[in-house]
Chains A and B, each alone.
Chain A
């Protein structure tokens, strides 16, 4: 009789466990649904990253590369968004660019989701929303808020100690951080393969200017910054001065020669490109953040960060207005546009002339929603989400 009781208890618990796993699993699987990308009419070809390293073919690391080639010759640039999918300004800026850019001189390559796998999960114990929405004139556009690291479902287990392709010793989890894996390994881990393919793209396409778009927490010293390899120093300095004149504050940070595996270091050492990395200030990825929400991602307003600023613990100015996503994307856009415009200064034949991009000050004034290609009503899930945004929260026992 006692055994029968145990069996019934075990059976009930097992059913409940499966139910829990099923419901939670459904929520996790939602992260695998990619947001739509709507390239501008200036698109000349669409490639995949695996075109540069076949080892990536049919892997979760493969990702689209949008190519915009001008009618006139010129320099070649690579814009990388989504290296860290929990840094939304980098991703959004790349999306905005691919939706609007028209290239007159030169060629621009845009990768909006550099670590495609990182978009398919969120970081445990960070309590982040899985996605955020920007309401365009017709419907909301959905964007995933992913993880800094490759999904462990795609690359696991982590070693205790990770020694990256450049010989830098790092904690095991960093083996899934794309921006610690350069120059990559053709037959390494998934993240190393992605890094390898990006470096191969820069080499094969003879990229002159490569920009990696990032964000950082406000307590991190390298913030609102242009991180430059020594060979990009002059370009970085000129761009910083121009940006300052336009009201965008960036500080200059040289790429530390002994911190290996990062894009600004390894792209500079292994390719002929001018590598640059941009950092804007993102409250939602910080350790001091208060309640996590979609609003925190979009507005960048947080009372604990305000307190931290008053205590002198931050490396950027911060007030009750927060640092909204639109301002961060505008900063990225201003910097990238200025980099592109200044290529001709170094060599006239490297001129890159682009049109169609929103003006950064307009982006701040009118909001990101104004410049994103409107969403479609056909997606039932999106409509449901808009309802939730406009009318309140998810029902009890939401997933």
Chain B
């Protein structure tokens, strides 16, 4: 069976199981991967299935611990306290509120290069503020999801560019300006577009009425310990890597969560972790399944077929191919998209400035975190606002995502001219 046919069978089995038989997505992916091996004339290899899923081992740990952290700051009273603080400061200044909120969401992504970290840390903090000030839940989630993606792409840490850079021996220098030129207008525009119409300017009386209980008077600065600890460790590891212990993001979230036991309201930590695991399990299962799926795609040659098909596009269609394939491949992983497709695309445009090309490609690849079934940014943003169907959130991401795509591709097309300016 040809590689293309193997790929189609894998997709077919997945769609059949997930849609017609309502088998959980993760499990459907396992069966479609196993089918892929069989129809390509191989036996079912547990080693390959396991190895593929381990491609997401770190991501799975980050998600799991970030979810625990989110539960802890909710249960300790920190979330309510911060919401109260933001509402008191910004209840009459919606433009500034939206811009500050967008920056806050982006910040963890900027220092870790991970949209999930951004969505599940500061995204979770600002969501109640926006909702209480009148922004509908779904739009709030869309703003958080887009903020997470902008944070992932924005400097100083853009893992997508680093991955592409390592494939073409390009050092990670000179990226700050081009990335900021693309991301800042997008971030500001998205925040205002999604929020300006709906956020209400309210009276002080109404503000007092919607204010959640602040525990600051009772616990003082101690309440903020989990947040301080997480940011201190994340920043320290990013800014002073030579002097800081290399803990990794999962351990940082876990330490932050543990500190929450002593920082505010008393709560059952074990119940918090149980709750977090329960909520995170479907996406963790999807990630493991996607890992197996891509391993089998590679094993059977379906990955090679996909890449060469896009590279076979005529030159004029190359940009269309990039616009289509990089976000689509993000359904597997945005980082995977940067590595598997980003590197060949940079090389296909070898005459252009690789720094600018990779920066633009990273903006396009970032959209992969909105692409189902993984859709990390979309899924977790939906979870943050309590929405079970993340497709409803993705609907509101469509316009900002389209602008992101236009800016990324426009930057790519205009690289020779931009090169002379910045």
Please tell me the size bucket of the interface on B: 35 or more
Pick the contact of A304 from B49, B305, B340 — CB < 8 Å?
A: B305
Give min CB distance, B69 to chain A, whole Å. 16
Q: Which residue of B lies closest to A177 (CB)?
A: B166
Q: Could you tell me if A163 and B242 are in contact, using CB atoms closer than 8 angstroms?
A: yes
Q: Could you tell me if B114 and A160 are in contact, using CB atoms closer than 8 angstroms?
A: yes
B198 within 8 A of A: no
Determine, out of B187-195, B292-300, B368-376, the stretch whose residues face the partner at the interface: B292-300
| Interface mask (A383-399 → B, CB under 8 Å = 1, otherwise 0) | 00000000001111111
| Interface mask (B280-314 → A, CB under 8 Å = 1, otherwise 0) | 00000000000100111111110111011001100
B residues 143-191 with Cβ under 8 Å of A? 157, 159, 162-163, 165-169, 171-173
Q: Which residue of B lies closest to A172 (CB)?
A: B159
Q: Could you tell me if B305 and A311 are in contact, using CB atoms closer than 8 angstroms?
A: no
Bound CA span A65–B7, Å: 45
Give min CB distance, A129 to chain B, whole Å. 9
B343 within 8 A of A: yes
Q: Could you tell me if A307 and B312 are in contact, using CB atoms closer than 8 angstroms?
A: yes
Q: Could you tell me if B251 and A157 are in contact, using CB atoms closer than 8 angstroms?
A: yes
Q: Could you tell me if B162 and A127 are in contact, using CB atoms closer than 8 angstroms?
A: no
Give min CB distance, A212 to chain B, whole Å. 15
Determine, out of A200-208, A244-252, A285-293, A335-343, the stretch whose residues face the partner at the interface: A285-293
B residues 231-251 with Cβ under 8 Å of A? 237-238, 241-242, 246-251
Pick the contact of B50 from A24, A161, A259, A398 — CB < 8 Å?
A: A24
Q: A157-B246, A396-B43 are in contact. Are A125 and B241 (CB under 8 A)?
A: no
Give min CB distance, A162 to chain B, whole Å. 7
Please tell me the size bucket of the interface on A: 35 or more
What residues of chain B lie closer than 8 Å to A122, measured between beta carbons? 51
B46 within 8 A of A: yes
Give min CB distance, B301 to chain A, whole Å. 4
What residues of chain B lie closer than 8 Å to A168, measured between beta carbons? 171-172
A348 within 8 A of B: no
Give min CB distance, B122 to chain A, whole Å. 16
Q: Which residue of B lies closest to A162 (CB)?
A: B241
Bound CA span A266–B166, Å: 17
B408 within 8 A of A: no
Give min CB distance, A206 to chain B, whole Å. 30
B47 within 8 A of A: yes
Give min CB distance, B297 to chain A, whole Å. 8
Q: Which residue of B lies closest to A310 (CB)?
A: B312
A46 within 8 A of B: no
Q: Could you tell me if A290 and B304 are in contact, using CB atoms closer than 8 angstroms?
A: yes
Q: A169-B162, A258-B171, A395-B43 are in contact. Are A313 and B291 (CB under 8 A)?
A: no
Give min CB distance, B236 to chain A, whole Å. 11
Bound CA span A21–B54, Å: 12
Pick the contact of A127 from B237, B249, B298, B307 — CB < 8 Å?
A: B298
Give min CB distance, A33 to chain B, whole Å. 15
A345 within 8 A of B: no
Q: Which residue of B lies closest to A398 (CB)?
A: B43
| Interface mask (A270-303 → B, CB under 8 Å = 1, otherwise 0) | 0000000000000000011111100000000010
Give min CB distance, B250 to chain A, whole Å. 7
B325 within 8 A of A: no
Q: A288-B308, A311-B312, A393-B42 are in contact. Are A159 and B237 (CB under 8 A)?
A: yes
B324 within 8 A of A: no
What residues of chain B lie closer than 8 Å to A10, measured between beta carbons? none
Q: Which residue of B lies closest to A122 (CB)?
A: B51
Give min CB distance, B235 to chain A, whole Å. 11
Give min CB distance, A171 to chain B, whole Å. 3
B28 within 8 A of A: no
Pick the contact of A159 from B51, B163, B246, B303 — CB < 8 Å?
A: B246
Q: A20-B46, A24-B50, A292-B299 are in contact. Are A221 and B311 (CB under 8 A)?
A: no
Q: Could you tell me if A399 and B46 are in contact, using CB atoms closer than 8 angstroms?
A: yes
Give min CB distance, B116 to chain A, whole Å. 12
Q: Could you tell me if A127 and B299 are in contact, using CB atoms closer than 8 angstroms?
A: yes
Q: Could you tell me if B311 and A313 are in contact, using CB atoms closer than 8 angstroms?
A: yes
Q: Could you tell me if A125 and B308 are in contact, using CB atoms closer than 8 angstroms?
A: no
A residues 301-340 with Cβ under 8 Å of B? 302, 304, 307-308, 311, 313
A32 within 8 A of B: no
Pick the contact of B344 from A125, A130, A219, A289 — CB < 8 Å?
A: A219
Chain A residues touching B, majority SS: loop
Bound CA span A282–B167, Å: 15
B3 within 8 A of A: yes
Q: A157-B58, A159-B237 are in contact. Are A393 and B43 (CB under 8 A)?
A: yes
Give min CB distance, A237 to chain B, whole Å. 21
B40 within 8 A of A: yes
Q: Could you tell me if A258 and B173 are in contact, using CB atoms closer than 8 angstroms?
A: yes
What residues of chain B lie closer than 8 Å to A163, measured between beta carbons? 241-242
> Which among A28, A162, A219, A311 has the highest number of chain B CB atoms within 10 Å?
A219
| Interface mask (B202-232 → A, CB under 8 Å = 1, otherwise 0) | 0000000000000000000000000000000
Give min CB distance, A165 to chain B, whole Å. 9
Q: Which residue of A lies closest to B52 (CB)?
A: A125
Q: Could you tell me if A308 and B46 are in contact, using CB atoms closer than 8 angstroms?
A: no
Q: Could you tell me if A313 and B298 are in contact, using CB atoms closer than 8 angstroms?
A: no
Q: Which residue of A lies closest to B332 (CB)?
A: A125
Give min CB distance, B296 to chain A, whole Å. 7
| Interface mask (B32-66 → A, CB under 8 Å = 1, otherwise 0) | 00000000111111111111111101100000000
Q: Could you tell me if B169 and A222 are in contact, using CB atoms closer than 8 angstroms?
A: yes
Give min CB distance, A82 to chain B, whole Å. 19
Q: Could you tell me if A396 and B168 are in contact, using CB atoms closer than 8 angstroms?
A: no
What residues of chain A lie closer than 8 Å to B57, measured between beta carbons? 124, 152
Q: Could you tell me if B44 and A397 are in contact, using CB atoms closer than 8 angstroms?
A: yes
Q: A288-B307, A290-B304, A307-B308 are in contact. Are A125 and B55 (CB under 8 A)?
A: yes
> Which among A23, A127, A174 has the highest number of chain B CB atoms within 10 Å?
A127
A238 within 8 A of B: no
Bound CA span A158–B305, Å: 31
Q: Which residue of B lies closest to A152 (CB)?
A: B57
Pick the contact of B304 from A156, A172, A221, A304 — CB < 8 Å?
A: A304
Bound CA span A154–B349, Å: 38
A14 within 8 A of B: no
A27 within 8 A of B: yes
Bound CA span A222–B54, Å: 30
What residues of chain B lie closer than 8 Å to A170, measured between beta carbons? 162, 165-166, 172
Pick the contact of A161 from B41, B49, B241, B304 — CB < 8 Å?
A: B241
A256 within 8 A of B: yes
Q: Could you tell me if A160 and B111 are in contact, using CB atoms closer than 8 angstroms?
A: yes
Q: Could you tell me if A290 and B347 are in contact, using CB atoms closer than 8 angstroms?
A: no
Q: Could you tell me if A127 and B296 are in contact, using CB atoms closer than 8 angstroms?
A: yes
Bound CA span A308–B347, Å: 12
Pick the contact of B46 from A24, A260, A292, A393 — CB < 8 Å?
A: A24
A126 within 8 A of B: yes
Q: Could you tell me if B54 and A160 are in contact, using CB atoms closer than 8 angstroms?
A: no
Which residues on A are within 8 Å of B, measured CB to CB? 20-21, 23-24, 27-28, 122, 124-127, 130, 152, 156-163, 168-172, 174, 177, 180, 189, 219-222, 256, 258-260, 287-292, 302, 304, 307-308, 311, 313, 393-399
8 more CB-based (< 8 A) A-B contacts, given A127-B48, A291-B3: A24-B47, A122-B51, A127-B303, A157-B249, A171-B165, A220-B347, A287-B307, A291-B301
The 5 closest A-B pairs by CB, nearest first: A157-B248, A127-B299, A171-B162, A124-B55, A127-B298
